[in-house]
């Protein structure tokens, strides 16, 4: 991994580790009875493993040693997934820059309803 890949790995770790503060709910299908919704909710499996969806160029991620699960989609693939599965708040990195020596950087990230910016600098860890 080069310094750029290490920086991207750190950014993904930071973004995927943030609490989403999302309200998650299931919309009943037409004709559903309240007990049907509750039965599906009881069968649902919750996991501590999070998946980060990204809209990006896969080539930027090929040398990463990610510590979390990430799915990288093109914009067209995201549109198809949203059509099939419903809303997916994929993350975009509209700005990801490193200085000439790849020692410091700045990132702007956007996941539709939440986002932010990060300053990058090397650490001893």
pLDDT tens by residue, 26-85: 555 566 666 665 665 555 555 556 778 899 988 888 887 767 788 899 999 999 998 988
First to last CA, the chain: 16
pLDDT at 34: 62
Say what the pLDDT of residue 99 is.
Answer: 92
Task: State the pairing for strand pair 51-55/92-98.
Answer: unpaired
| Separation between Cα atoms, residue 29 and residue 113, nearest integer Å | 25
Average pLDDT in the chain: 78
Distance of alpha carbon 15 from alpha carbon 50, whole angstroms: 11
pLDDT tens string 47-59: 556 778 899 988 8
Tokens of 86: 């419903």
Q: Name the pLDDT band for 12 (thresholds 50, 70, 90).
A: confident
Report how far Cα 8 is from the mean position of its chain's Cα atoms: 13
Element (H, E) at 85: helix 75-85
Are 17 and 51 in contact, with CB atoms under 8 Å apart? Answer: no
**For the chain, which residues make up each domain, given as ranges?**
3-18+49-120
Query: How far is 16 from 91, CA to CA, in rounded Å?
Result: 10
pLDDT value, residue 105: 92
Find the radius of gyration of the CA atoms of the chain.
18
> 120 by DSSP, 3-state: which?
strand
The residues with which 69 forms a beta bridge, in sequence order, are: 51
């Amino acid at each position: 991994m080069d310094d750029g890949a290490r920086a991207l790995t750190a950014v993904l770790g930071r973004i995927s580790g943030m609490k989403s503060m999302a309200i998650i709910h299931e919309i009943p299908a037409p004709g559903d009875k309240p007990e049907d919704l509750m039965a599906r909710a009881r069968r649902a499996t919750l996991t501590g493993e999070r998946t980060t969806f990204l809209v990006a160029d896969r080539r930027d991620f090929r040398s990463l040693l990610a510590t979390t699960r990430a799915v990288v989609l093109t914009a067209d693939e995201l549109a198809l997934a949203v059509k099939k599965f419903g809303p997916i708040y994929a993350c975009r990195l509209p700005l990801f820059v490193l200085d000439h020596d790849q020692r410091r950087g700045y990132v702007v990230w956007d996941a539709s309803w939440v986002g932010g910016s990060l300053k990058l600098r090397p650490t001893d860890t």
